[in-house]
Structure 1
Amino acid sequence: MSLRVAGRLVGAFFLLAFVCYGIGSALAGQFAGTALVVLNSVMVVAIGVLVFRALRRPQPGSAWTYLVARGVEAFLLTAGIVLLDRVGAGAADIAYQVAMLSLALGSLPLCLALRRRRWLPSWLAIWGLGGYLLLATGAAAELMGARVGLVLAIPGGLFEIVFGLLLLARGFAPSTVAHPGATLDGASSAEAGGDSRASRAALAAGLGLLLMAVLAGLANFGVVERMVSTDAAGTTTLLLSNGRALVLAVVALCAVVCLDVLVAWALRAFFADTHRTVPLLSAWCRTVYAVVFAVAITHLIAAAGLLRDDPATDRIGPGVYAQISDFQEIWSLGLILFGVHLLLIGWLAWRSPSAPTWLAMLVAIAGAGYLADSIGALVSAAYTIEVAAVTFGGEVILMGWLLVFAARLHSPHRSEVDGRDARQAQLGAA
């Protein structure tokens, strides 16, 4: 498919998605409305995939970020229509606002990438950046209780209409920017390209793991675990006084879902030369785990929605407690896939010439710990051992090692040595 055709399809989907979601949300509660919202989500995913295919080589970071952000948006919009029917308007609104936050933040690097490729005029790129920043601000304000999201969404909405019409008319215009060519020595160029790819993948995975550790720690241990009491009434009392903290935890955990997918495919790129199929299998294991985790988070959204709709402790206490319990159970089930992912990463690290053996062992042990806890809880309700609380250190060490690996490849000394070797190779060839 040519860039022009792909761009025109993206433009058409932008415009059709507006119509589908607008009519679908107006018909909420009816089959036709649900079908239109689901169709909107399908088109949102299609937009992400088409943009990803167009940008994955020249702008891989922006392409992956946009694809994952649109995927999370599509999931939450569909979840919102389900939550509206089963839980209430509060949960549906939270899902919608988090979806808009995902769309806005994921679209910022897209605007920059399209401007860099000269596929978007400067004035329109600036409009898009401003519109999406306002959309993110409005969504965040709505989540905190300030009703300003609709007004702040107008510039971004108008941008998407203009952007869609522009793409429908001309598609993605081919870039006129020349890309840096290869070095004089083909072998040196290939080696440098391999080092650069490994460095970028290691940096992306390491930073992603670092952000995940911070966000998941604050959200789960700082909010959810701290608020869960031993009984429904106690849990609801804690949540009623910290409702906004629960909403922030939902946002943080949704960000963790995005990072999980990005880290999965960054690790796949890092270990791509180690084996042909296992890196792909490990990436899909973590991606499916992220989907299961996203499903679990919808139960936290439901709990926050119940608190927003009717903050009467005697009426919603059991419902809130049940939703948080479901979140924990589904997440625990998904950690089986996460454990398998870590076992595969440990095996790849053991096979890789770049990673030390001790790192492979620690990562594999971390994966085994998650498997033991998740399967143990699944088999017996009396299982209370937390092996992963001890073995999770393998993930932390993997994160640190990836960041150090990326820093070493980017070090000035390494660049100087590589440059000297390349010059010597050129002189030898002459």
Structure 2
Amino acid sequence: MNTTRLHSRTLGILFILPFFAYGIGTALVTSVLKEPVNLAAVAGQRTPFVGGALLLLLNSIIVVGIGVLFFPILRERSPSISVAYVCTRVMEAVLLLVGVVFLLSILQLGESAQGQTTPELVTLFKLLSKGNFWAYQLAMIILGAGSVPFFLSLYQSRLLPSFLPLLGAVGYGLLALGSVFELFGLPWGVLFSGPGGLFELFLGGWLIAKGFRTVTPSVAVTPSVAA
């Protein structure tokens, strides 16, 4: 299978971009959402809040692009896994978008509060924040669970050095496990997401610099026998 350099470089860039889009977007949003709850402050910092939400939205678009660009790479070898990986990325994006909706609802809540911070509004604020938390963790569970078989299939394809897909399978497996722990109240998600995050950066750099291998199926040659 011949994968063009432009294709692999684009895929590499898409693996690196979410690190910045989601990281900066989250930093902007969390800089506004501080404890104790101050809805007036949220409404007064609309620009950084919306800017962060837009970066989170961009991240959702990028992850779908990763699935779409990876689809033709393994389509011939593992069509079902390729389709499943695209679906994984789409479901991840949808859940992350749900999280963005929760965040924008917090902004609307702050603007509607008109400077008031009643117990009812604080409770609603916390519910919306928790909704964003759950949406993110579920997205990471789906991403991790769907990526493990994909990278194991990529390992079998020999399109990348064997250590890379194996690191990816382990990293995404840990990512899913960490999110499960988070849902049960154990704050281990950041620790378990580290290997997967570093893998994505490394894979992105590898694809930009070296791309995929060209794997030519071996052809058995049967010598002709004179009668």
**TM-score category by the smaller chain?**
0.7 to 0.9
> What amino acid is the match of 1:23?
I
Residues 111 and 129, structure 1, Cα contact 8 Å, conserved in 2: yes
Distance in 2 (CA, whole Å) between partners of 1:75 and 1:179 is 43
Among residues 67, 76, 80, which one is paired with 2:95 in the alignment? 76
State the Cα distance separating 1:180 from its structure 2 match: 8.7
Distance in 1 (CA, whole Å) between partners of 2:209 and 2:201 is 12
Give the corresponding residue for 1:167: 207
Q: Can you list the C-alpha shifts for 1:264-291, whole angstroms capped at 9, x where unaligned?
A: xxxxxxxxxxxxxxxxxxxxxxxxxxxx
> What amino acid is the match of 1:114?
L
Percent identity of equivalent pairs: 41
After superposition, residues 322-401 of structure 1 pair within 5 angstroms as: none
State the Cα distance separating 1:83 from its structure 2 match: 1.1
Residues 100 and 135, structure 1, Cα contact 8 Å, conserved in 2: yes
State the Cα distance separating 1:128 from its structure 2 match: 1.3
Q: Which has the larger radius of gyration?
A: 1
State the Cα distance separating 1:179 from its structure 2 match: 7.3
State the Cα distance separating 1:175 from its structure 2 match: 1.6
Residues 4 and 173, structure 1, Cα contact 8 Å, conserved in 2: no
Larger relative helix fraction: 1
Distance in 2 (CA, whole Å) between partners of 1:40 and 1:158 is 17
1:93 aligns with 2:133: yes
Residues 53 and 104, structure 2, Cα contact 8 Å, conserved in 1: no
* TM-score with structure 2 setting the length: 0.74
Distance in 1 (CA, whole Å) between partners of 2:183 and 2:220 is 45
Give the corresponding residue for 2:11: 10
Give the corresponding residue for 1:41: 60
> What amino acid is the match of 2:204?
G
The CA RMSD measured in Å over matched residues stands at 2.0
Distance in 2 (CA, whole Å) between partners of 1:152 and 1:60 is 30
Residues 7 and 172, structure 1, Cα contact 8 Å, conserved in 2: yes
Question: Whose relative contact order is higher, 1 or 2, with alpha carbons under 8 Å and at least 6 apart?
Answer: 2
Distance in 2 (CA, whole Å) between partners of 1:51 and 1:126 is 17
- Provide structure 2 residue ranges, at least 5 long, that are not aligned to the other structure: 30-45, 106-126, 222-227
User: Taking structure 1 as reference, are residues 18 and 179 closer, same or farther at Cα in structure 2, changes over 3 Å only?
Assistant: farther
Aligned residues: 181
* TM-score with structure 1 setting the length: 0.40
After superposition, residues 186-265 of structure 1 pair within 5 angstroms as: none
1:145 aligns with 2:146: no
Distance in 2 (CA, whole Å) between partners of 1:96 and 1:69 is 14
1:55 aligns with 2:74: yes
Give the corresponding residue for 2:121: none
User: Taking structure 1 as reference, are residues 31 and 180 closer, same or farther at Cα in structure 2, changes over 3 Å only?
Assistant: farther
State the Cα distance separating 1:115 from its structure 2 match: 1.3
Stretch of structure 1 that moved more, 50-59 or 160-169:
50-59
User: Taking structure 1 as reference, are residues 154 and 56 closer, same or farther at Cα in structure 2, changes over 3 Å only?
Assistant: same
- Provide structure 1 residue ranges, at least 5 long, that are not aligned to the other structure: 182-430
> What amino acid is the match of 2:83?
W
Distance in 1 (CA, whole Å) between partners of 2:177 and 2:138 is 11
Give the corresponding residue for 2:168: 128
SS of match in other structure, 1:137: helix
After superposition, residues 231-310 of structure 1 pair within 5 angstroms as: none
Q: Can you list the C-alpha shifts for 1:100-123, whole angstroms capped at 9, x where unaligned?
A: 111111111221122111122122
User: Taking structure 1 as reference, are residues 179 and 19 closer, same or farther at Cα in structure 2, changes over 3 Å only?
Assistant: farther
